[in-house]
Chain A
Amino acid sequence: MALPQQKQDATEARIAAIAKPAGGVWLTEARNAALSRLRAMGLPHARDEYWKYTRPATLVQPDVPPAAVFELYESAVFHEIDRLQIVFVDGVFDPDASDDLAMAGVEIEPLAQAGAADIHWARELYGVLEANGQSPVERPLAALNTAFAENGVLIRVTGRAEKPVNLSYVQKTENLDVTIHNVVKVEEGADLTLLENGPAASRLNKVLEVEVADGAAFHHVRTQGRAHERRAATHMFARLGKESTFKSFTLTVNGALTRNEAVVEMTGDDAVAHVAGAALGDGATGDFHHDDTVFVTHDAVNCESRQVFKKVLRNGAVGVFQGKILVKDGAQKTDGYQISQSLLLDDDSQFYAKPELEIYADDVACSHGSTSGAIDDEGLFYLRSRGVPKDIATDLMVVAFVAEAIDEIEDEAIAADILGRLEGWLERRRG
């Protein structure tokens, strides 16, 4: 079916605005294939069903919407965690600011470097998991990313990584467009924790492709930067082998527009996939629109998946959750769970939830729930009656509300760091 002219024009306008990157054979092939996919799909439009609750215009338009650089006045998240830090400044790998990339059991290469080669292990994943994730729902911004990304890292994990790898995205330039594409291959029985933090850009397009092989484990914790005006479209594509584990948690505070898509395909039996997120938005400090779009496919027997998403919204902030569990024919003994909840701190804020289950196997346990509610007045009064001022009492209850999502982080030190960040942020905001 031919694309509507308007969509085609918008797509070509965006493509024309980006310089075509140079690279070796494998990467050029992957980029060309992605460009073809992108042209066939066209960039998202407000009338697309998948973009019903989130306006894609500012993510699609050729020019980056103006946005200032946010000065972080506290030390960055994860700095107390023993980790291997890889720093990107304005979207470009900065070797001087980064740690030595050598670590036992882990091979790390910047995409800019590896992409110059003519052949590379990453070609079996780069753009491959993304392409795979374009069906049954199209994700054209991810194809745009694959076609034009010049930066990112390629990580191959062959053993048990001794410490987490932390990708830190520093932004120094205002009105900045950045595209980052990371690929992680966790080989059989191997284990990696990936941390990501920082705003990266005024407008970020980020893709993470992860293959978790049989018996391997991948843990992912990210924070998205507190810049009020930033916009981001991120995609995470994961393919899980037999008895593998994939756990991802995202903390988002602020941001004019964030769309986080997670596409998880469970292809091996007995795998576990958890995707969780906590988002806090306050319209009083700038627009806040946060969209979590999750698609989990069960294509193997006895796999467990969990989606836990919490949003705290005030002063006209908007939250969106589109979450799907697809259980394919034959994926018996599937245990699928999904919960999306919002805490609306006033009448101006909005939460849109679209939970979906599509099940073609007959011996499965799948459940989903979605709630939106105000803060519990009884609890608030109880706290206040003990002398806790209303704003602190509210924040205590906010933290309590998102705790269920933070609990999805397995590593206690990292979970404590995230919780501490959140509490500190709330405290400073109270003034």
Chain B
Amino acid sequence: MLEIKNLHVKLEEEDKAILNGVDLTVEAGKVHAIMGPNGSGKSTLSYVLSGRDGYEVTDGSAEMDGKDLLELEPEERAAAGLFLAFQYPVEIPGVGNMTFLRTAVNAQRKARGEEEISAADFLKLIREKAKTLKIDADMLKRPVNVGFSGGEKKRNEILQMAILEPKMCILDETDSGLDVDAMKLVAEGVNALRDAGRAFLVITHYQRLLDHIQPDVVHILAGGRIVKTGGPELALEVENNGYADILSEVA
């Protein structure tokens, strides 16, 4: 599904290398987790994959289903099935959540040569998905993320994911700022989307999210490289011993 080879990335504005040769393959139907200390390049990886400005790829490649992601515009990546759940979802005053979602769904459909969804079908779809995520009608009417609590913003991200039905979902620190109940709700939303044709890359600082979203593979990112890969037990190791042990071990 997702194949990253020797990816080197630096910040455009300052000559600062963030990723120094990331190699990562995520297969369809799998959940991969990336853990790592602060500043290891976790968020940069998610932004580069989704096409945010400000990063320069100096070497390597990133492909999704054999398609070169790096040469696509952000909206083309989305239409191809990539989705990033933001660590800090952006507030967009004046743009209604419903309008935004319907525009996004139809833009993606159009890009894929599919029919646009009717207003009635869309309403039905969004009501059903919103209900399971405990998102009320008022939240749907409000401007995108404006005045939402941290938990509401993250639930709104998962709602978008459920509506857009991407193939490759990247969750960037989705657990940050969530209490246990909110995290459970979000994890349930994610688990409901687990499917043989869909892959997840869960980026997190802490192991606790992985109690709720069980990963198949866990990677440790440090210094802009994947330094260790293992099964779910690797996350527990981090939880118990911190990153220092692993880092000294691979140094």
B64 CB, min distance to chain A CBs, angstroms: 14
A389 proximity list for chain B (CB < 8 A): 73, 75, 107, 111
Inter-chain contact A382/B92, CB cutoff 8 Å:
yes
Per-position contact with B for A363-401: 1 when CB-CB < 8 Å, else 0?
A: 000000000000011110111111111101100110111
Report B's interface with A, CB cutoff 8 A: 50-53, 73-75, 77-79, 83-84, 86, 89-95, 99-101, 103-105, 107-108, 111, 143-144, 160, 164
* A317 to B165 alpha-carbon distance, docked (Å): 41
A430 CB, min distance to chain B CBs, angstroms: 12
* A403 to B99 alpha-carbon distance, docked (Å): 14
B100 proximity list for chain A (CB < 8 A): 383, 386, 388, 396
Inter-chain contact A396/B95, CB cutoff 8 Å:
yes
Inter-chain contact B103/A388, CB cutoff 8 Å:
yes
Inter-chain contact A386/B73, CB cutoff 8 Å:
no
B107 proximity list for chain A (CB < 8 A): 387-389, 392
Q: B104 — nearest CB in chain A belongs to which residue? A: A386
Inter-chain contact A381/B95, CB cutoff 8 Å:
no
A371 CB, min distance to chain B CBs, angstroms: 13
Inter-chain contact A388/B90, CB cutoff 8 Å:
no
Inter-chain contact B104/A387, CB cutoff 8 Å:
yes
Size class of A's contact patch? Answer: 20 to 34
Q: Which among A385, A392, A396 is the interface contact of B74 at CB below 8 angstroms?
A: A385
Inter-chain contact B103/A385, CB cutoff 8 Å:
no
- Extra contacts besides A386-B160, A386-B164, A389-B73 (17): CB < 8 Å: A376-B92, A384-B51, A384-B75, A385-B74, A385-B77, A386-B75, A386-B100, A386-B101, A387-B105, A392-B103, A397-B92, A397-B94, A399-B94, A400-B92, A400-B143, A403-B94, A404-B94
Inter-chain contact A385/B92, CB cutoff 8 Å:
no
* A389 to B51 alpha-carbon distance, docked (Å): 13
* A390 to B74 alpha-carbon distance, docked (Å): 9
Q: B50 — nearest CB in chain A belongs to which residue? A: A385
Inter-chain contact B84/A387, CB cutoff 8 Å:
no
Inter-chain contact B53/A390, CB cutoff 8 Å:
no
Inter-chain contact B94/A383, CB cutoff 8 Å:
no
A397 proximity list for chain B (CB < 8 A): 92, 94-95
* A379 to B78 alpha-carbon distance, docked (Å): 16
A378 proximity list for chain B (CB < 8 A): 90
B93 proximity list for chain A (CB < 8 A): 400
B123 CB, min distance to chain A CBs, angstroms: 18
Give 27 A-B contacts (CB < 8 Å), ordered by A residue: A376-B92, A379-B91, A382-B90, A383-B92, A383-B95, A383-B100, A384-B74, A384-B75, A384-B78, A385-B51, A385-B74, A385-B78, A385-B86, A386-B75, A386-B164, A387-B75, A387-B105, A388-B75, A388-B104, A388-B107, A389-B111, A392-B103, A392-B107, A397-B94, A397-B95, A400-B143, A401-B94
A390 proximity list for chain B (CB < 8 A): 73, 75
Inter-chain contact A396/B103, CB cutoff 8 Å:
yes
Inter-chain contact A382/B73, CB cutoff 8 Å:
no
A357 CB, min distance to chain B CBs, angstroms: 26
* A423 to B73 alpha-carbon distance, docked (Å): 24
* A369 to B79 alpha-carbon distance, docked (Å): 40
Q: B90 — nearest CB in chain A belongs to which residue? A: A382
A156-205: which residues lie under 8 A (CB-CB) from chain B? Answer: none
B101 proximity list for chain A (CB < 8 A): 386
* A323 to B86 alpha-carbon distance, docked (Å): 41
Inter-chain contact B92/A387, CB cutoff 8 Å:
no
Inter-chain contact B143/A387, CB cutoff 8 Å:
no
Inter-chain contact A396/B99, CB cutoff 8 Å:
yes
Q: B108 — nearest CB in chain A belongs to which residue? A: A387
A382 CB, min distance to chain B CBs, angstroms: 4
B119 CB, min distance to chain A CBs, angstroms: 14
Inter-chain contact B90/A384, CB cutoff 8 Å:
no
The listed residue with most B CB atoms (<10 A of its CB), out of A377, A381, A401, is: A381
A399 proximity list for chain B (CB < 8 A): 94-95
A70 CB, min distance to chain B CBs, angstroms: 29
Inter-chain contact A381/B104, CB cutoff 8 Å:
no
* A396 to B99 alpha-carbon distance, docked (Å): 9
B95 proximity list for chain A (CB < 8 A): 383, 396-397, 399-400
